[in-house]
Amino acid sequence: MDEERFEEIWEMAEAEQYGRRLAAEYPAWRARRNRVAGMALLTLITAGVGLPLWHNITQSNTQHDGYTVAYCNRADISDQYWVNMADELLKSV
Amino acid sequence: MKKLLLIILLPLAMLTGCSHEKKDMNVSALYQHYAVRQDLTVAQVNGFKLNDTVRVDVVLMQAEDENAWQQLKEEFNIQGDEGTVSWLGESENPAIRTQWSGVPVMRVIASLYKHTIGIYRIDNEAQYDAIVEYQLDKTKKGTK
């Protein structure tokens, strides 16, 4: 057997061994991948559903000082300004 | 991948849509009607606290210029040029407490000086009483 042929067979054997190792490790790797993907999906769904729900619950349950919730057609004026105005109008009478 | 996106985005979109609807439901038709006007700053305060148990919803409007104020005065039948006009009367001459009619009412208090009006929605007798007591109490505290 010449040296060149030996190298060729050696490489084939190595490749086969590597392939066998990969094949042996694949089920465990696949299980790990599925577990990670499952966890990520679960986290995303929990966040997607939970955050808006939490926002709704906290918003509806929030009791500010002197009012429940306020809306304004101008964003640069604070809620407290209007609460004070509602108070002031009553007081001014 | 498309399935995954659907699973995540669908509930999110539904919930976000619901929360917007809820917000709109909390805003009165009065607020919605005037909030689109550029010459008015309009606010709605829900649950304005009158005492430990009674709250009212208030819509407030502030005119940005003299024309807008004149228009508001006409629309809400506000008369006089200075001071405050109110269904409660004035400090020296308070209105007589009338019996609750049983019909929800919108009461308007206007500050001619600040070009602002407040519309208090009164749905029941408890709110009716509380608003008078609030005003009297605050006035007493103010004079101390």
Residues A13 and A52 in one domain: yes
Q: How many domains does the structure of chain B reveal?
A: 1
Residues A52 and A70 placed together within one structural domain of the fold: no
CB of B42 within 8 Å of a chain A CB? The answer is yes
- Residues A77, A48, single domain; the answer is no
Q: Which of A20-34, B1-15, B31-45, B100-114 has the lowest mean pLDDT?
A: B1-15
* Burial state string for B46-67 with b = 16 or more CB within 10 A and e = fewer than 16: bbbbbeeebbbbbbbbbbeeee
**B28: contact with A, CB 8 A cutoff:** no
* Residues A58 and A68 reside in one and the same domain: no
| Facing residue for B118 by CB, picked from A44, A72, A89 | A89
Q: Is residue B17 part of a domain?
A: no
Indicate yes or no: CB of B46 within 8 angstroms of CB of A69.
yes
Does residue B3 surpass a pLDDT of 70? no
In whole angstroms, give the CA distance from residue A75 to residue A86. Answer: 18
Place of tokens 């985005």: B9
Look at residue B15 and tell me if it is in a domain.
no
Q: Are residues A50 and A26 in the same domain?
A: yes
What is the tens place of the pLDDT at every residue in B27-86? 889 999 999 999 999 999 999 999 999 999 999 999 999 999 999 988 888 876 544 555
Residue A72 sits at the chain B interface (C-beta within 8 Å):
yes
Mean pLDDT of chain A: 86
Domain range spanning residue B57? 28-143
Residue B2 lies in a domain: no
Q: In what order do the strands lie in the sheet with B84-86?
A: A69-72, B40-49, B55-63, B116-122, B105-111, B84-86
**Chain B: residue whose CA lies nearest to A92:** B84
| Total domains in the fold of chain A | 2
> How high is the pLDDT of residue B59?
94
User: Percent of chain A beyond pLDDT 70?
Assistant: 88
Mean pLDDT calculated for residue range B138-144:
57
Give me the mean pLDDT over the A40-45 stretch. Answer: 94
DSSP calls for B33-55: HHHT-TTEEEEEEEEEESSSS-E
- Chain A residues in contact with B111 (beta carbon < 8 A): 88-89, 92
The predicted pLDDT at position B143 comes to 52
- Residue B5 maps to a domain: no
Average per-residue pLDDT for chain B: 77
Q: For position A44, what pLDDT does the model report?
A: 93
The reported pLDDT for the residue numbered B21 is 44
B99-130 burial string, b = 16+ CB within 10 Å, else e?
eeeeeeeebbbbbbeebbbbbbbbeeeebbbb
Q: Where residue A92 falls among pLDDT bands split at 50, 70, 90? A: confident
- CA B71 remoteness from chain centre: 18
Q: Tell me, yes or no, whether B97 lies in a domain.
A: yes
Residue B124: inside a domain: yes
A2 pLDDT exceeds 70? yes
Q: Which residue has the higher pLDDT, B135 or B35?
A: B35
Regarding whether A31 and A12 lie in a shared domain, the answer is yes
Q: Please state, for a pLDDT cut of 90, what percent of chain B lies above it.
A: 33
CB < 8 Å from B in window 21-60 of A = 41, 44-45, 48-49, 52-53, 55-56, 59-60
Do A4 and A36 lie in one domain? The reply is yes
A75 lies in which domain range?
63-93
**How confident is the model over B17-31, as a mean pLDDT?**
65
Residues A6 and A28 in one domain: yes
* B82 located within any domain: yes
